[in-house]
Amino acid sequence: MDTLSIAQAPLHWEPHFHLTPGHGWMNDPNALCQFRGTYHFCYQYGPDWPNSDTKWWGHATSPDLLTWTRTEPAMAPELPEERDGVWSGCALVETGPDGTERIRVFYTAHLVPEGAVPHTAYDHVAHQVATHSSDGVRYQDRHVILSPADYPAEVCAHVRDPKVWREADGTWWMLLGTRLVVDESRERDTGAVMLWSSPDGEAWTFNRFVRPMERLGYMWECPNIVRLGGRDYLAVCPQGMPHEELRWQNRWQAGYFPLAGRMQQADTVDAASFTEWDHGFDFYAPQIFVDQQGRSILVGWMGTFDPSYSSAPEGLAWCHCLTLPRELSLATDGSLLQWPVRELDARRGTPIQLAPNVPLTCANMHADILLKDIRGTGALALGTTEEGELLSLAFNGERLSLVFGQTDAAKAAALGRTHRTIACSALTDLRVVVDGSTVEVYANRGAQVFSTRWFPAGNQLVVNSSLTAQGVAYPL
Ligand code: FRU
């Protein structure tokens, strides 16, 4: 296990509850599960960042989804097919051949052959691999279950991120993200998912493609399934969506399609029904798992690839973290709400009232701020005693915006983060969780969410709200 991760960076940037890699790079959450009561989270881990982007799997455990103990990495490249990285995948808990529970894992092996041209439809080779663990820490018997020769002719080399689950009849199902080739261009190739089935998780048969009725990007990564309220939701991460003023503002997107029924009955999905999970600067590649209490829990990568802003300021020995685990629930219109797992409520200290236009100074950079019965328009601003206001969440009756309002132009340029805006006609409540260098905003019971990193110089949070509302801030 390793300890604190900061080289020279201020300690107040260190989150208390968000999982970070400690050292090196982190991207997607992988193989999230609860095994014998303990939560196990793996993640895409770059131990040699920034010198190499070969991915391993980092691993951490938690009794409560908030207190994390990092262990040795779960996996480094081992098979010839994964020489250039152990890419994303999922876990499920099953009864092994000896009658005891074990974690079965499926993931993508990444190989870049000599001479491959980067950023093309055939820039690497992807195999799908299975392995298992009896203690949640060490994995054994890694072996390839799907090779490029098994894939349908319509797809290019981009086939990855298996999501595997079992139905009540014992059948195993797998979703794989892919790119259907039209002419090998990012302008015309089409993102889609493949469904595969298996009697045992070893021998897999291609079942069908699930395609968008209208093209939605050139590649879909990280497929997932959510099962709530008797229907399925297909979650994917489309790459290549054009930026619009009020949506798709990050480089790549993450969201879901509500399906009419079960995943296995879908052939197409309606691109118009695609709903983004999170509208902030730092969110991608979420994974959803069901814990032993039956909660559907979403965890995102609190970062993105190639942003115009930094997520590892000078001195920070690690880059990126995961979001808080968020319980998913159904809104009355069938959309999905996200809310920090209730374990966070137990970590709150004595509440302090937050009155409109009366700045509230916190002891440190960790707080859970709640506003309810919001009436009218206004903004909730966050800053520090040292710097004044830095970040605000503003509502004007039609739009909801997360805005970095740096008065210092040099700092603003360094931050690169400016604003993210969505259409929103009503604001009834807001929850803002500040945890060191992370900020997560939940509006309207979690119908709209914004996640961002921030790196203030000051270490005492100041909250100031002009919204007419019942407000309270809990120290965390
Ligand atoms: C998404 C992703 C996955 C891939 C992994 C590699 O962020 O590109 O599709 O498996 O990251 O690190």
What pLDDT is attached to residue 5? 44
Regarding the beta carbon of 160 and ligand 1, being less than 6 Å apart is answered: yes
b/e string for 372-385 if b means 16 or more Cβ within 10 A? eebeeebbbbbbbe
Position in ligand 1 atom list of the atom nearest CA 28: 7
Question: C-alpha distances in angstroms, 35 versus 93, 163, 455?
Answer: 7, 18, 35
Pocket test for ligand 1, best of 129, 222, 299, 301 (most atoms within 8 A of CB): 222
Nearest CA among 32, 34, 52 for reference residue 43: 32
Q: What is the DSSP letter of 414?
A: H
State pTM to two decimals: 0.96
Q: Which residues contact 379 (CB under 8 A, 6 or more apart)?
A: 392, 393, 394, 395, 465, 466, 467
Q: How far is the CA of 87 from the centre of ligand 1 (A)?
A: 6
Regarding the beta carbon of 124 and ligand 1, being less than 6 Å apart is answered: no
Regarding the beta carbon of 108 and ligand 1, being less than 6 Å apart is answered: yes
Q: How far is the CA of 360 from the centre of ligand 1 (A)?
A: 40
What pLDDT is attached to residue 458? 93
Residue nearest to atom 6 of ligand 1 (CA): 87
Q: How far is the CA of 221 from the centre of ligand 1 (A)?
A: 7
Question: C-alpha distances in angstroms, 288 versus 11, 30, 98, 211, 326?
Answer: 30, 10, 28, 21, 9
Q: Which two tokens stand for residue 226?
A: 């959510």
Regarding the beta carbon of 278 and ligand 1, being less than 6 Å apart is answered: no
Q: Which residues contact 25 (CB under 8 A, 6 or more apart)?
A: 44, 45, 46, 49, 50, 53, 318, 319, 320
Regarding the beta carbon of 107 and ligand 1, being less than 6 Å apart is answered: no
**pLDDT digits (tens), the chain, 476 positions:** 343 444 567 889 999 999 999 999 999 999 999 999 999 999 999 999 999 999 999 999 999 999 999 999 999 999 999 999 999 999 999 998 899 999 999 999 999 999 999 999 999 999 999 999 999 999 999 999 999 999 999 999 999 999 999 999 999 999 999 999 999 999 999 999 999 999 999 999 999 999 999 999 999 999 999 999 999 999 999 999 999 999 999 999 999 999 999 999 999 999 999 999 999 999 999 999 999 999 999 999 999 998 878 888 878 889 999 999 999 999 999 999 999 999 999 999 999 999 999 999 999 999 999 999 999 999 999 999 998 999 999 999 999 999 988 656 666 555 678 889 999 999 999 999 999 999 999 999 999 999 999 999 999 999 999 999 999 999 99
What pLDDT is attached to residue 2? 41
| CB of 191 closer than 8 Å to CB of 179 | yes
What pLDDT is attached to residue 405? 80
How far apart (Å, rounded) are the C-alpha atoms in residues 83 and 371?
A: 50
What pLDDT is attached to residue 415? 66
Write the single-letter amino acid at 327.
E
Q: What is the dihedral of CA 26, 78, 158, 93, to 10 degrees?
A: -70
28 flagged as catalytic: yes
What pLDDT is attached to residue 39? 98
Position in ligand 1 atom list of the atom nearest CA 252: 7
Q: How far is the CA of 254 from the centre of ligand 1 (A)?
A: 12
* Residue count of the chain: 476
Q: Which residues contact 169 (CB under 8 A, 6 or more apart)?
A: none
How far apart (Å, rounded) are the C-alpha atoms in residues 126 and 146?
A: 9
Regarding the beta carbon of 88 and ligand 1, being less than 6 Å apart is answered: yes
Q: How far is the CA of 82 from the centre of ligand 1 (A)?
A: 14
What pLDDT is attached to residue 321? 98
Residue nearest to atom 1 of ligand 1 (CA): 285
Nearest CA among 391, 402, 118, 389 for reference residue 250: 402
What pLDDT is attached to residue 267? 95
